[in-house]
Structure 1
Amino acid sequence: MSDSTGSTDRQVSVATIQRELTSFARRARATAARMHPELSLVSYTLLAHLEDRGGCRATDLAAYYLLDKSTVSRQVAALERAGHVERRTDPDDHRMQLLHLTEQGEQVLAQAADRRSQAFHTRLADWEPAELARFAAYLTRYNEAAARNP
């Protein structure tokens, strides 16, 4: 295979990956609205992050997701109004407020996560274990590279 053919194959593959990831993202937003109408995809993501971290500051959310602080502030305010998130004083620095899931937030997140898990199991039901393992490894590798090079 010549370099130009390899280069063309690579370009076609990268274009296909870009198109398919874009399609995946659009479908994820649409599916999220159906699976857990009480949570937007952003809200679900923020709640999941708070659960994973055991709470954090709003500025930590903004930095992690590369979002403007005002965007995170609006999302957090909506989650607070819905009763999913509460602010607690940081025990290490009483000037700071940490965001934590409420019991209601934990329940709505668990329900949404269960529905998402069921949907993934359904979509991947006819995949062989080796295919799933490769796909999981490729997604992990891609996301690790994306985290290093946003």
Structure 2
Amino acid sequence: MDEQAETLREVEHELTALLRRGRAVSWEVAREVHPNLEPNAYGLLLWLRRYESVRLTDLAARLGIGKGTLSRQIRALEALGLVRRAPDPSDRRASQLSLTEEGQQRFDAARAARLGHIRRVLESWPAHDVAEFGRLLARFNDAWS
């Protein structure tokens, strides 16, 4: 077996372990935001927190999911009082999505706990390794899409 193939297998193994842990953490963090929140909805809240206000179609394109699927997920977040949908002033057919004040507060509290865990995991790493890790993860994610 050549060295590159073995290296790729190791990357796949570590990525699988990371994703498995990520799913478990997503369940925990979702419950911290709201007891009835689906785990995959944390990622939606993360994007809404980043953009503050975004069109549903733009968010669907960024996430690579269909508008219908996203709309169903957003309706569930609206029902929990975490997200609001408002008419887009530039296009009445579209809507702008944003976190409610409660959604923002709950998300920020859960995110602080998650960042604290990440900080504890990486605290023994040199700062340049943490920066490089972040840079490489961003590069990987950009190439994946």
TM-score exceeds 0.5: yes
More displaced stretch, 54-63 vs 117-126:
54-63
TM-score, normalising length: structure 2: 0.87
Cα shift readout 1:43-98 (whole Å, capped 9, x = no counterpart): 11111211212222222222111113332122111100000011111111223211
Moved over 3 A (4+): none
**1:65 aligned to which of 48, 63, 66:** 63
Q: Distance in 2 between matches of 1:93 and 1:133?
A: 40
Alpha-carbon shift at residue 114 of structure 1 (Å) = 0.2
Matching residue of 2:130: 132
Q: Secondary structure at the match of 1:40?
A: coil
2:93 counterpart residue number: 95
Report if aligned partners of 2:56, 2:94 keep a CA contact under 8 Å in 1: no
Percent identity for Structure 1 against Structure 2: 35
**Residue correspondence of structure 1 range 1-150 to structure 2 within 5 A:** 8-37=2-31, 38=34, 39-146=37-144, 150=145
User: Residues 100 and 35 from structure 1, CA distance in 2 versus in 1: closer, same or farther, beyond 3 angstroms?
Assistant: closer
Q: In the comparison of the two structures, how many residue pairs are matched?
A: 141
User: In 2, distance between residues paired with 1:19 and 1:69?
Assistant: 32
For residues 90 and 114 of structure 1, what CA distance do their matches in structure 2 show?
A: 31
Task: Provide the aligned C-alpha RMSD in A.
Answer: 1.7
Query: Bigger radius of gyration, 1 or 2?
Result: 1
Give the Å deviation of 1:35: 3.1
Show structure 1 runs of 5+ residues with no match. none
Q: Please report the TM-score for the alignment, with normalisation by the length of structure 1.
A: 0.84
